[in-house]
Each structure stands twice: as structure tokens, then as C-alpha cells.
Amino acid sequence: MLSQLEHFSTIALYSAMIVYAIAFVFYAVDLANRSGDAAQADGRADANAAAGAAPADEHAAAATSSLEATATGSIAVGSTATKVRPAPAVQPRAGASAPVDGPGKAGRSKALRIGFSLTALGFLLHLAATVLRGIGAERVPWANMYEFALTATCAIVLIFLLVQFVVDLRFLGTLVTGLTVLFLGITKVNYYVEIVPLQPALDSYWLVIHILVAVLAVGFFTLSFGLSLLQLLQNRRENRTAAGDFAGMNYLTGLPTAVRLEDLAYRLAIIGFVFWTFTLIAGSIWAEAAWSRYWGWDTKEVWTFVIWVLYAGFIHARATRGWRGTRSAWLSIVAYAAVIFNFAIVNVFFKGLHAYSGL
């Protein structure tokens, strides 16, 4: 029975990965459509500029002839003056305008709607794979690296879906689905283990509390990381636009401004930081119950604290004017890299009391 549940869990997982991959393609098509729409807008702006130049030249020629006629006395007294029409106003180029605060028209594209719907379907399959793994193991499905990755990626997608009720972040779909497929693929190949009984040190209700909160923190940190990455790209695009260079990076058209992206990354990081702080506290309480000490400078404990410090620094950077913008975005990216390092490197190559990878 347990082997059958694990088999069904694997099928659901592979199915979810396929659906996520298809959703990734549709999100990528949406980004490509943004580039195409921006290029067409640039072309129309150039056409309008060219159309407006010709009448202006004609009016200038007429004015010159009138001046010459006046100088030679050839203009008749009482002659009717030619009424000059003003040249049509040239519309600003699409690249020169600041991005709107939200996905805009591109955010309602058919490709984006399909991608988001497929993401929801992939999440249901992903959730089924996670739940079946837990039922098969007769415990919560996060007692080793494979199960933690399975649950954490599910939480990332869940938070991505739920946050849409507050603010439209569907433009992160490419990154969310791409990272999810990548993480699940690496996890299935490198970290998969058969269902085994729970180790005595993990047989505690703190396993539910400590890891669940950590999973939620990782979900919010992932979205914050994606926004910081987009912030760097959008900031580069805005600087190039200000310098008069409208070529390239049109896929960022319609996305929020760099300032808005930084603000969203900051808000999500705060939520993740609160969860991570509770993770640190709950881990200390659990350590005292399991090993009779709250803190022992174990490698896992140290890196958990390092991540806390990095995100505390990122949040504090918002209060320091000199560390806003590009610097704070890089700090957010470095902090998320520490999260990945903590999972993929510390769990595998650093042995200690937290060596529960199952490998």
C-alpha cells in the first residue's frame, strides 16, 4: 500500500513538472509579446514623427516665400493670409515612457492567462504529490531533503497564487515556474530517498511547527528574490531610456517601475523575515528539548542565523537612504543565495546534529 502511494506521488510530481513547464512556455510567450508590442509602438511613434515633419517643412517654405514677397513688394494689399496649421504633436516613444505600476494591457494577455491557469493546475498536482508522500509515510512530508524540497516548492507556488488577491505579480510567473521545475528536477535526481521511519530526534511536534514556518519563509523569500532581480533589470532599462537608448529590454514594458519593484520585494521580505525569525526561535526551543541546549553553533544553526542577518540587513537598508536601489537589490539576491546554499550545500557536505538529509 505504501509503495503504491509513493508510486502515485511520483506520477503526480512528474505531471506537475510537465504542467509547470508548459506554463513556463506561455509566460515566456507573454514576455515575447511585450517586446513585440513595444517594437510596434516604437514604429508607430517613428511614423507619426515622420508624418509630422513634412507639414512643418511646407509651412516653413510658405513662410519663407511670404517674407521674400514682402521684401520685393509683390504682396498685394489686403491679400488673404494663408492659415497655417500646427504640425501634429509627436507621440512619445514607447520606451521613453515610465512603466506603469502593474502588468497593464500585457498583463491581460491570453498567454499570461493560460500560463496562470496552468500554474494553478500544476499546483494541484504538486499538492497531490506532497500529500500522497505524507500519507504514505504516515507523517508530515518534510523529514528529509527530498520531502522538504517537495513541500517548499509547493509553498512557493501556493504563495505566488495567493498573493494575486492582494497585488498582481503574474509577471513573476516565468521565474516561479522555471525555478520550481528546476528545483524539483534536481531534487528528484539527487535527493530522492525511499520512505523510511522517522528518526527519534525528529519525532516531535516541533517538526511540524519549525519546518512549516521555514517553508513559508522560503516561499516569501523566493518571490522577494524574483522582484529584486527584476528591479535590477528595470533599473538598467530606465537608465538606458533616460539616456535616449530605447533599444532592447522591451520585455520589461508594462512592468512596475524599479522603485515599485523594490517596494514589493521589501514588503515580501518582511513577511518572510518574520517567519524566519520564528523558525530560529522554534529551532532553539526544539534544540533545548532534544539536546538540552538552546544553541550549539552547529553548522546548520550558524547558517540559519547568517540568513537572518542578511535579510535583517536588507530590511534595514531601506531605512538607510544610501543603500536603496541597486545595492539593496543585490543584498536581497545574496541573502536568497544563502538560503539555497544552506539547503543544497550545508545539508549535504557539512555534518552535524542536523544531518537529516536522508542521503
The pLDDT tens digits of the residues spanning 136-145 come to 888 889 888 8
For the stretch 317-339, pLDDT in tens is 877 766 788 888 999 999 999 99
Q: Where are the domains of the chain?
A: 2-43+93-349
Element containing residue 170 per DSSP (H, E): none
DSSP-H helix ranges across the chain: 2-72, 110-137, 145-162, 173-190, 205-242, 258-291, 299-317, 326-341, 347-349
Angle at 196 between CA 190 and CA 199, to 5 degrees: 105
- CA–CA distances in Å: residue 19 to residues 7, 92, 122, 170, 278: 19, 40, 5, 17, 34
Please, are residues 271 and 218 in contact by the beta-carbon 8 Å criterion?
A: no
User: Is the per-residue pLDDT at 17 higher than 50?
Assistant: yes
| pTM of the model as a whole | 0.79
- Looking at per-residue confidence, does 31 or 70 come out higher? 31
The grid cell for 307 is: 540568513
Question: Chain centroid to CA 277: how far?
Answer: 23
User: What pLDDT is attached to residue 46?
Assistant: 44
CA 134 to CA 300: how far, in whole Å?
24
CA nearest 23: which of 114, 95, 100, 115?
115
Mean pLDDT of the chain: 80
CA distance 194 to 12: 16
Q: Which of 74-88, 264-278, 338-352 has the lowest mean pLDDT?
A: 74-88
- Report DSSP letters for 104-166, one per residue: TTGGG-HHHHHHHHHHHHHHHHHHHHHHHHHHHHTS-S-SSHHHHHHHHHHHHHHHHHHGGGT
Question: Dihedral of CA 248/94/178/28: which sign?
Answer: negative
